[in-house]
Chain A
Amino acid sequence: MGQTITEFIANYGELMLEGTRDTLVMTGVSTLLAYVLGVPLGVLLTITGAKSIWPNRPLNTVLGWIVNIGRSIPFIILLVAIIPFTRLIVGTSLGVEGAMVPLVISAAPFVARVVEQSLADVDGGLIEAAQSFGANNWQIVTKVLLFESLPSLVRGAAITFINLFGYSAMAGTVGAGGLGDIAIRYGYQRYEYDVMLVAVILSVILVQIIQSFGDWLAKRIDHHAR
């Protein structure tokens, strides 16, 4: 405590930089992969609904269960519980790679719900219009449902990213590093409050930037009157 800014940067600058990088890589890649799994899941949840274009009650129910189960397991428990699976996929349960597997697994069901919500907002009249021009279900999904809800999907992606940003703090448990891990190790366990504070401030700034960027992008691509 009581050190100058120059001293702080000399002592901890590299740590902070590394933490920021780890957090962004972990969160960014996990968000991306969670979308690779979550979008098809969300689309299936939507179109298998009773009044949608491909009603299938059993499939809809089973998918609903999977998503709900996935969403109800606390992340820290999932993180530990799937260690064997994580090893199978990335060869290790430690570090940034080791953390990304549980992050993706925990975020995918969340993404599915966020995507489902976005698609639900697409006017049913547009689907009917597309059908009247001979669109098949694949064309309706890609050219109507996903395309028309793009701005809403972007907003959802910002929310997902920020959620995973928070989860990634817990990934420190498996030695994944990142800003959250720094805050916990230095502040909570070693009482180095200035290190904790800087890590937290950096986190706040990053979250602000991501949310603002998401809002800006969604607004920019949205042509719907609101």
Chain B
Amino acid sequence: MIQFEHMKKSYGVGADAHEVLHDVDFTIHDGEVFGILGSSGAGKSTLVRTINLLERPTGGRILIDGVDISNATGKELKALRAKIGMIFQNFNLFQQRTVLRNITFPLELAGKPKAQRVARAERLLKLVGLEEYADRYPSQLSGGQQQRVAIARALANEPKIMLCDEATSALDSTTTVQILDLLRRINRELGVTLVVITHSLSVARNICDRVAMIDGGNIVEMGETAELFANPKSDILKALIASAEEQNGRDEDEDGTPVAPAAGAAENEEAR
């Protein structure tokens, strides 16, 4: 469980201070897929980064499983981060490491013995459907394959929480659906809580149990996904839904992602 209690974040000090998150106060439950929906600059990236303290809150506090993590440093911070996996829009894979050594990276940091690291990485490669790719380098993989490697890497430490920062924004629509399916599967089968940042209504609709709409550093509304989208209250969400519906006339939503998940979409992708 992740609890934000009147959490604030500002940059700069004194007269130069600029608050980007104002009084964020909500709870993400264990095992859910929680979406944070917002346009660029709304503060969603900053918000998600406070969970693993890549950004430190400047007011209020954050509790994970009841423990205040806001001021964690040193070993405590390391332990916290090990419990929380993270994937990124641009994958952020290490270019000079093989797929296998990318996945073992978090275990290497934790000082796990090599045999254990490799065994774990091989299981994860199987989970994400890339057993054959252990010795390849990221530059030899397609975008979707790279994100799968990143997902495997994020799971290396058996985290309870995974942060997904626009994880499908750099991918085409078919690949997006495959990655979302995989994330859903990880949520269901491994019980990992997912915090999904997205600007895409269809991604939120496709994968999230609950969604918080963020605008100008404030959570403007929040609720069960279907309910929220059926009955939007904020102007920003209404506008977002209207523009998505307008584009649905062209069979696709605002970013070219099919709204319904393609059932059993082909898992295999050709390498570039």
Q: Which residues of A contact B (CB under 8 A)?
A: 123, 125-126, 128-136, 139, 143-144, 147-148, 150-151, 221-225
Contacts and interface: CB of A to CB of B under 8 A. Distances in A.
Contacts of A225: 95, 139
Nearest to B150: A129
A143 B105 CA distance: 9
A132 B54 contact: yes
Contacts of A148: 94-96
A125 B90 contact: yes
11 contacts: A128-B92, A131-B81, A132-B52, A132-B86, A132-B163, A133-B82, A133-B86, A133-B106, A133-B156, A136-B78, A147-B96
A53 to B, nearest CB: 12
A130 B139 contact: no
Contacts of B81: 131-134
A150 B96 CA distance: 8
A133 B105 contact: yes
Nearest to A223: B137
A144 to B, nearest CB: 7
B91 to A, nearest CB: 8
Given A131-B54, A132-B54, A150-B96, 4 more contacts: A132-B86, A134-B157, A223-B137, A224-B96
Contacts of A128: 54, 88, 92
A133 B109 contact: yes
Contacts of B80: 134
Contacts of A125: 88, 90, 92
B90 to A, nearest CB: 6
Interface in B137-180: 137-139, 153, 156-157, 163
Contact of A132 (B79, B84, B96, B138): B84
Interface residues of B, number: 30
Contacts of A129: 86, 88, 92
A119 to B, nearest CB: 13
B139 A134 contact: no
Interface in B82-103: 82, 84-86, 88, 90, 92, 94-97
B74 to A, nearest CB: 9
A34 to B, nearest CB: 24
Contacts of A126: 92, 94
Identify which of B77, B82, B95, B157 gathers the most chain A CB atoms within 10 Å of its CB.
B95
Contacts of B242: none
B108 interface: yes
Interface string B198-233: 000000000000000000000000000000000000
Contacts of A144: 94
A150 to B, nearest CB: 6
A134 B78 contact: yes
B119 interface: no
Nearest to A135: B109
Identify which of B79, B96, B153 gathers the most chain A CB atoms within 10 Å of its CB.
B96
Nearest to A226: B139
B108 A143 contact: yes
A163 B159 CA distance: 50
B110 interface: yes
B75 to A, nearest CB: 10
Contacts of B52: 132
Interface in B34-66: 52, 54
Contacts of B163: 132
Contacts of A222: 96
Given A125-B90, A223-B139, A139 B109 contact: yes
A147 B98 CA distance: 13
Contacts of A221: 96
A133 B52 CA distance: 9
